[in-house]
Amino acid sequence: HERSFIAIKPDGVQRQLVGEVISRFEKKGYKLVAMKMIWPTKEMAANHYADLSKKPFFSGLVDYFSSGPIVAMVWEGPEVILTGRKMLGATNPNSSEPGSLRGDYCIRVGRNLIHGSDGGESAQHEIGMWFTEEECS
Ligand code: ATP
Ligand code: MG
């Protein structure tokens, strides 16, 4: 079974969109395997987005992702990585299709509500970063 790491970012939690996100993934038919609320340290945020450390927006991104609690989740189902990314919408909400989470609920790339793994390797890496094996068995 394919698994993806999905995290509701601090703005999504603050704006009370946790239920909406979970509801969409549940209604789609995916299985919630693990979930926890956690306030990431700057170090955890930098680690999570380590691939982007050379980008000009990196320090802003680290501040954003560590600015409050996130809801970290593991979802399971066929094609959940790719289809989950479609449900999130494009990175920049101004290009996200209406009907996607970012397309429906936000307007700024720097406050785009939600994270989703972008491939099999990153999904495995991210799940291992945020959860123990017992937590997602
Ligand atoms: P995520 O990894 O959070 O699911 P993504 O895979 O769609 O998003 P990435 O390229 O991995 O996009 O960028 C990670 C995050 O960095 C984006 O979701 C966004 O919050 C932030 N970001 C990306 N591009 C910019 C930018 N040009 N300016 C500010 N923030 C940005
Ligand atoms: Mg990404």
Express each pLDDT in 46-64 by its tens digit. 999 999 999 999 999 999 9
Give the pLDDT band (50/70/90) at residue 8.
Answer: very high
Give the pLDDT band (50/70/90) at residue 9.
Answer: very high
With the C-alpha atoms ordered 87, 108, 8, 124, is the resulting torsion angle positive or negative? positive
Q: What's the CA gap between 13 and 135, in Å, rounded? A: 22
For the cut 90, the answer to whether the pLDDT of residue 6 exceeds it is yes
Q: What's the CA gap between 114 and 11, in Å, rounded? A: 9
Residue 110 Cα to ligand 1 middle (Å) = 7
pLDDT digits (tens, 9 = 90+) for 35-47: 999 999 999 999 9
Pocket test for ligand 1, best of 11, 52, 61 (most atoms within 8 A of CB): 61
Residue 134 Cα to ligand 2 middle (Å) = 25
SS3 85: helix
Task: Evaluate: CB of 129 within 6 angstroms of ligand 1.
Answer: no
pLDDT value, residue 22: 98
Q: What's the CA gap between 99 and 101, in Å, rounded? A: 7
pLDDT value, residue 1: 87
pLDDT digits (tens, 9 = 90+) for 71-120: 999 999 999 999 999 999 999 999 999 999 999 999 999 999 999 999 99
- Largest pairwise CA distance in the chain: 39
Task: Evaluate: CB of 118 within 6 angstroms of ligand 1.
Answer: yes
Q: What's the CA gap between 32 and 22, in Å, rounded? A: 9
Of 85, 122, 111, 115, the closest CA to residue 100 belongs to 85
Host H or E run for residue 56: none
Task: Evaluate: CB of 102 within 6 angstroms of ligand 1.
Answer: no
Residue 28 Cα to ligand 1 middle (Å) = 24
Give the pLDDT band (50/70/90) at residue 16.
Answer: very high
User: At residue 4, what are phi and psi to the nearest 5 degrees?
Assistant: -130, 150
pLDDT value, residue 136: 93
